[in-house]
Amino acid sequence: MTNAQYPIGNFKAPVSYTPEDLRKWTATIKEFPGRLRQAIMNLNEKQLDTPYRTGGWTIRQVVHHCADSHINSLMRFKWALTEDNPTVKPYEEADWALLPDYRLPVESSLKILEGVHQHWVALLESFNEEQWERTFMRPSGEKIPLKKALALYHWHSKHHLAHVTETVKTF
């Protein structure tokens, strides 16, 4: 892998958003839990505890991180749909990865991802153009439209799936 930290490159926000883009990115959200499960299903405990790069998270931590991150994203979508440009709370993802629940078996986080993504896709597939324009605010003051947030989580899903699949190739 040429760049273990960013195997698919850094996120670049699109200049424009087409209905086809939104459908494609929604499909990524829909498929991600199954793809992640498939990627790790034959791994043993030692393999799950293998970092995807020197100094990086283990595959186990990546799976748990995806569950936490995607829970947060779903909540941000819901807040943006029900409040006027809410300010969202960031979290210290690197510190969360050190908490005891990140040593649990990955099945709990796979189940979380399956449920979160089922809810998330139900929302995404119901959106009209106005809903795609709804926004939330980062504490930095950056206003994020939901279509940009979807593009980001399309990337995020593929980014972490590549961490896993590229690492698995080394076993």
Residue 65 CA from chain centroid, whole number: 8
Label residues 151-168 b or e (16+ Cβ within 10 Å = b): bbbbbbbbbbbbbbbbbb
Specify the pLDDT at position 2.
Answer: 59
Specify the pLDDT at position 1.
Answer: 43
Helix or strand run (H / E) with residue 137: strand 135-137
Specify the pLDDT at position 23.
Answer: 98
Over residues 2-57, the pLDDT tens digits come to 599 999 999 999 999 999 999 999 999 999 999 999 999 999 999 999 999 999 99
At 56, is the secondary structure helix, strand, or coil? coil
Over residues 81-110, the pLDDT tens digits come to 999 999 999 999 999 999 999 999 999 999
Specify the pLDDT at position 99.
Answer: 97
